Amino acid sequence: MEWDLQLLGVTAIEDKLQEGVPETIHLLKRGGMKVWVLTGDKEETAVNIGFASQLLSDDMVILGESEIWYGRDKILHATGDEQGKTRRSIWERFCCSQDKTKKDPRNLVEEAFVELATACQAVICCRVTPKQKALIVQMVKRHKKAISLAIGDGANDVNMIKTADIGVGISGQEGMQAVQCSDYALAQFSYLQRLLFVHGRWSYLRICKFLRYFFYKTFAGMMSQIWFAFYTGFTAQPLLEGWFLALYNVFYTSYPVLCMGMFEQDVSAEKSLKCPELYKAGQKDLFFNFRTFCLSFLQGSFVSLVSFYVALWAFEDKASIKIVGDYQSFAMIIATSAILTVTVEIILDIKFWTVFSVLAIFLSLVLYCLCSYFTQSFQAYLTAPTVFQFPDASKNALTDPTALLVILLSVTVNIIPSLAARFLCSVMVQRTMSEMAQVRDLKMKTSMVELRSHVRRDSHWSRSSYAFSHKEGYANLISTGASLRSKGPRVRGELNGFGPTSLPGQEDSVPPADVACSRDAATQQTFLPC
């Protein structure tokens, strides 16, 4: 008797999520970012990956492709009660644009799709080719005023990374093509937390403070020339010496602001990761905008006005023992008041003090004293009288007690409005770290979703039992063969997360060939319009 043996081999590939992926996506969502997953996997695998990475949750209403349909006028609609308002607003916007303009119908469909997608908490695009990934990023950039960040780890993500405003490549086992074409290279997806919420937010804060202070100190030091012109009949007579104008932004006030632009921190890295809501300030342009520029202009103009008119009030028709009434000594008092005021202002602005910050402030003041003494000394005048035309002007202005009291008065009056504004902001503004932490604790904590069935009751989706969520531990099921045995509804129910709650009599044996193999780490192909 001959036995005809037929061996059936089944191979399964488990592509697990990297460590920290769910936590990173959860922080991105709390930071006000829209997370899009663009993957080439099939729909069931992509949705399970979304649940495992905490991109999707059980309380969300999942809107599938079959539930988005084209209307009579080629406009996208969404079914469901939660999308009712969005559907009506999209329809009204489409009708208005269709009546007033003659747009391409394809652009109208794109606008409607982007409006609907951005109204959702998360978007997962499956069965997407590398070219389609780049087209999706380009479509969002075209219809939304948002900054896009694309992150990927393979060669199929190169087009998407190069199309986005910011490209991040993950150096993995799929080659270095993504890293070579990206702006930033990371070893793991979880490192995106520090890149955005720590270094990204610090960089934005430093640039904004640098620009605001740079405009402020320029207006404070140079606008006194305008007020002086009213008393000279606009004859182009300079108030400040040429050497002071040349060295003001180079040595006298540049080092402190450079240190602030390199080392400034408002909160530590740990607090930045604990409160990702702080990242929303950059999305709303709260640190530097046109209003901030206007305030810097007004503050700098106020400083120049006070420095000029306080000195003018004190020495207009008077001359003390050492001040002989020359306008250059008068200009030295104004310049000294402006430099001391902007120095005190940056001392108030700096929140994170380092040794370099202290040395920069000290070096700036020392350089001002040395350069002023050298350029206005009698020896320099004898050496080059046409270059150094004002001998002993700084000595007369900075050694007279009356002049020093005038400088002190000017600095005090200049700083009082700034101190009052900081006090009012600290009292009236309620967005504090402690309150953000309290709001965060009141929210429901999203737990890690293991292998579960996430099919809505009113959905017609046909979900595969083997569309794994890429959680650690399922390789043992495949290697032991327990998941391939036909054990009735219990095995399938446990794999889907129902456990013993499966209805009796619903026996459904799973054929060995029904194994879905996920190819690439889908959550590493993320679209983030900030």
Are 214 and 358 within one domain?
A: yes
Domain extent for 316: 195-440
Are 157 and 180 within one domain?
A: yes
- Could you tell me if residue 8 is inside a domain? no
How far apart CA 331 and CA 133 sit, in angstroms, is 62
How far apart CA 99 and CA 92 sit, in angstroms, is 11
Q: In what order do the strands lie in the sheet with 122-125?
A: 122-125, 35-38, 526-529, 148-152, 166-170, 184-186
Q: What is the pLDDT of residue 449?
A: 39
Beta strand pairing call for 148-152 and 526-529: antiparallel
- Could you tell me if residue 333 is inside a domain? yes
Q: Name the domain boundary from 405, 440, 475.
A: 440
Contact 402, 314 (CB under 8 A): yes
Sign of the alpha-carbon torsion through 436, 441, 442, 445:
positive
Which tokens go with 439? 């709001």
Q: Name the nearest CA neighbour of 240 among 389, 410, 406, 402.
A: 389
How far apart CA 223 and CA 53 sit, in angstroms, is 56
Are 225 and 147 within one domain?
A: no
Residue 455 has what DSSP assignment?
A: -
Contact 527, 137 (CB under 8 A): yes
Q: Name the nearest CA neighbour of 146 among 225, 32, 229.
A: 32
Q: What is the pLDDT of residue 313?
A: 86
Which tokens go with 34? 């829209």
Q: Which helix or strand (DSSP H or E) is residue 435 part of?
A: helix 433-442
Contact 468, 14 (CB under 8 A): yes
Contact 24, 190 (CB under 8 A): yes
Are 359 and 412 within one domain?
A: yes
SS3 label, residue 472: coil
Are 303 and 411 within one domain?
A: yes
Query: Which amino acid makes up residue 508?
Result: D
- Could you tell me if residue 458 is inside a domain? no
| Mean residue pLDDT across the chain | 74
Contact 248, 343 (CB under 8 A): no
Sign of the alpha-carbon torsion through 134, 139, 142, 145:
negative
How far apart CA 160 and CA 356 sit, in angstroms, is 41
Query: Which amino acid makes up residue 270?
Result: E
Are 303 and 415 within one domain?
A: yes
- Could you tell me if residue 178 is inside a domain? yes
- Could you tell me if residue 34 is inside a domain? yes
Q: Which residues of the chain have pLDDT under 70?
A: 1-7, 14, 66-106, 174-175, 317-325, 375-390, 392, 429-530
- Could you tell me if residue 81 is inside a domain? yes
- Could you tell me if residue 226 is inside a domain? yes
Are 92 and 220 within one domain?
A: no
Q: Which helix or strand (DSSP H or E) is residue 211 part of?
A: helix 201-222
φ, ψ of residue 506 to 5 degrees: the values are -95, 70
- Could you tell me if residue 408 is inside a domain? yes
Q: Where are the alpha helices (DSSP H) in 120-191?
A: 130-143, 158-163, 177-180
Residue 47 has what DSSP assignment?
A: H
| Count: domains in the chain | 2
Q: Name the domain boundary from 425, 440, 455.
A: 440
Are 97 and 149 within one domain?
A: yes
At CB < 8 A and 24+ separation, what contacts does 113-116 make?
Answer: 113/76, 113/139, 114/139, 114/140, 114/143, 114/144, 115/86, 115/89, 115/90, 116/68, 116/76, 116/78, 116/83, 116/86, 116/87, 116/90
Are 225 and 177 within one domain?
A: no
Are 157 and 258 within one domain?
A: no
Are 315 and 333 within one domain?
A: yes
Which tokens go with 342? 């902007």
Q: What is the pLDDT of residue 466?
A: 44
CB atoms within 10 A of CB 478: 18
Q: Name the nearest CA neighbour of 513 among 11, 4, 5.
A: 11
Q: Name the domain boundary from 383, 411, 440.
A: 440
Q: What is the pLDDT of residue 299?
A: 94
Are 178 and 204 within one domain?
A: no
CATH number at residue 117: 3.40.50.1000
